Amino acid sequence: MTSPLPRPFLPFEMERWQSTWEHRVEINLSESGVHPLSTRELLEIGRSTAGDEVEALSRSLLDLRHEYGQSNGSDRLRARIAALYPGADPAGVVVTQGGAEANLVSLWRLLEQAGDWAALLPTYMQVPGLVRNLGGTLHPVRLRESAGWQPDPDEVEATFRAGARVLLVTNPNNPTGAVIEAERMEAIVASAARHGSWIVADEVYSGAELDGDPTPTVFGQYPRVICTHSLSKAYGLPGLRLGWAISSPEMAADLWARTDYTSIAPATLSDALATLALEPSIRSGVLKRTRSILNANRALFGEWVDSLEGRARFHPPEAGAIALVNYRAQVPSMEIAERLRADFGVLVVAGSHFGLEGTLRLGFGNPAEELQEGLDRIGTLLRSYDSGTSTPPHGAPS
């Protein structure tokens, strides 16, 4: 009896595209978070709201020893994370290297007991790619623009009936910026409960809602839930590489055991700054900054789309610094993305990376002047397709 042939490795195309070029272009509109905070800016926000804690941290930073910290996150940090979730126990929190590690160890743990996963698509393609690469089966549940990018609970139920025992939910959604309506989420949770299935809820864009109304977490709605999050998107601190998973203490212990094989421990400095950022009054100030950037730039973005006179359209996002733009030109999205990078110095994400040809994911969390310049360059290219030419117009930035 012969063993089955191994599956070919499925590359994470979007991440490789971004990591290759994001520091080699003039304007990066591929990011999905707001313009990052500096350490100075974070401390300044803190001084206006929690001066004593900031001053104590400032005095200690130069003397902070870069030793291995508590490997599942310091007690103080895990307590602050748990306080963000109703009824949560700090013992149910595992601090990780970004949300990506939180997603990885959650998948690793659950894939051991359930090879069939369902996922609301489009989504950030880390977990769907890992499911396929590690031998699992993926049941897609397609979100549709015509339905406001909302999931159909009946389609979720059908995947559970087909054998899926884990559902990946990204809420708010990447790349659409849509937030799942409460009654739909309740129906999805009820469906998971009927089948004893797990929900892995990637909630990394929670806190970046344009109207300031927080997206309800799935945590606490059902026992078989793992929620993941990070400081990368809503908080503007992606360089800290600080994320977490939260579940029951028993599940958290299993996830922590798996981080012993991956990163071992979060960076000591990142743990300290994350603890500061999640102090309640400082967190409020950080998220206020985020909403201010998003709302100002969302208005600018809408004006830009209107100026294209039908060459592009988009479903207004409810959360996150991202918009999924449908364009009129009959050109593959990766070709447009490459033209923008090579000829215009602008990096965007091709919709093909999400299985959505004919679209581009554009970030709008940049400083306003930079965003406007980037959008103007994209508009120049989209207008050039009116004549059917593929040559950059005279004077396009090189």
Number of domains in the chain: 2
What is the reported pLDDT for 309?
97
CB contact set of 357 (below 8 Å; sequence gap of 6+): 332, 333, 351
| CA angle at 20 for the pair 347 and 16, rounded to the nearest 5° | 95
Flag whether 397 is in a domain. Answer: no
Residue-wise pLDDT for 309-341, tens only, equals 999 999 999 999 999 999 999 999 999 999 999
Q: Which range (106-110, 112-116, 157-161) has the least confidence?
A: 112-116
Flag whether 97 is in a domain. Answer: yes
113 with 189, same domain: the answer is: yes
Question: Residue 345 sits in which domain range?
Answer: 13-39+283-382
Q: Is the pLDDT of residue 232 over 50?
A: yes
294 with 376, same domain: the answer is: yes
Cis peptide preceding 172, ω within 30 of 0: yes
Mean pLDDT of 102-118: 96
Q: How many CB atoms lie within 10 A of CB 39?
A: 15
Mean pLDDT of 149-168: 98
Band (389; pLDDT cuts 50, 70, 90) = low
22 with 81, same domain: the answer is: no
What is the reported pLDDT for 398?
34
135 with 235, same domain: the answer is: yes
Domain holding 299: CATH number?
Answer: 3.90.1150.10
What is the reported pLDDT for 274?
97
What is the reported pLDDT for 55?
87
Domain holding 182: CATH number?
Answer: 3.40.640.10
Q: Is the pLDDT of residue 370 over 90?
A: yes
Residue-wise pLDDT for 25-75, tens only, equals 999 999 999 999 999 999 999 988 888 888 888 888 888 999 999 999 999
30 with 102, same domain: the answer is: no
Q: Is the pLDDT of residue 182 over 60?
A: yes
Q: To 10 degrees, the CA torsion angle through 128, 133, 137, 138?
A: 20
Distance from C-alpha of 317 to C-alpha of 148, rounded to nearest angstrom = 10
Flag whether 262 is in a domain. Answer: yes
Mean pLDDT of 187-197: 98
> H or E stretch including 229?
strand 225-230
Q: Is the pLDDT of residue 380 over 50?
A: yes
Closest CA to 253 of 89, 132, 372: 89
Mean pLDDT of 154-179: 98
What is the reported pLDDT for 266?
97
Residue-wise pLDDT for 254-308, tens only, equals 999 999 999 999 999 999 999 999 999 999 999 999 999 999 999 999 999 999 9
155 with 252, same domain: the answer is: yes
Band (395; pLDDT cuts 50, 70, 90) = very low
266 with 148, same domain: the answer is: yes
175 with 86, same domain: the answer is: yes
Alpha-helical regions (H) of the chain: 13-21, 39-49, 51-61, 75-82, 98-111, 126-133, 153-161, 182-195, 249-259, 268-277, 280-307, 333-344, 368-384
| CA angle at 149 for the pair 319 and 118, rounded to the nearest 5° | 105
Q: Is the pLDDT of residue 2 over 60?
A: no
Q: Is the pLDDT of residue 5 over 70?
A: no
Distance from C-alpha of 188 to C-alpha of 143, rounded to nearest angstrom = 14
Flag whether 394 is in a domain. Answer: no
Mean pLDDT of 198-207: 98
Flag whether 360 is in a domain. Answer: yes
Buried b (16+ CB within 10 A) or exposed e, 230-259: bbbbbbbbbebbbbbbbbbeebbebbbebb
Q: Which range (55-69, 136-150, 189-203, 372-386) has the least confidence?
A: 55-69
Flag whether 388 is in a domain. Answer: no
259 with 304, same domain: the answer is: no
What is the reported pLDDT for 3?
58
Distance from C-alpha of 353 to C-alpha of 202, rounded to nearest angstrom = 19
Sheet containing 116-121, strands listed edge to edge, beginning at the edge strand earlier in sequence: 93-97, 242-246, 225-230, 198-202, 166-170, 116-121, 137-142
Final residue of a structural domain among 224, 256, 280:
280
93 with 231, same domain: the answer is: yes
| CA angle at 310 for the pair 308 and 315, rounded to the nearest 5° | 95
What is the reported pLDDT for 48?
84
- Residue 325's φ and ψ, nearest 5 degrees, are -105, 125
Q: Is the pLDDT of residue 391 over 50?
A: no
Q: How many CB atoms lie within 10 A of CB 357?
A: 11
Flag whether 54 is in a domain. Answer: no
* pLDDT > 90: percent of the chain: 90
What is the reported pLDDT for 59?
84
| CA angle at 80 for the pair 75 and 85, rounded to the nearest 5° | 120
240 with 312, same domain: the answer is: no
Q: What is the DSSP string of 43-96?
A: HHHHHHH-HHHHHHHHHHHTT-------TT--HHHHHHHHTTSTT--GGGEEEE
Instruction: Supply the DSSP symbol for 138.
Output: E
Mean pLDDT of 69-88: 97
Q: What is the DSSP string of 355-367?
A: T-TTEEEEE--S-
Final residue of a structural domain among 235, 256, 280:
280
Flag whether 56 is in a domain. Answer: no
72 with 175, same domain: the answer is: yes
| CA angle at 170 for the pair 200 and 194, rounded to the nearest 5° | 45
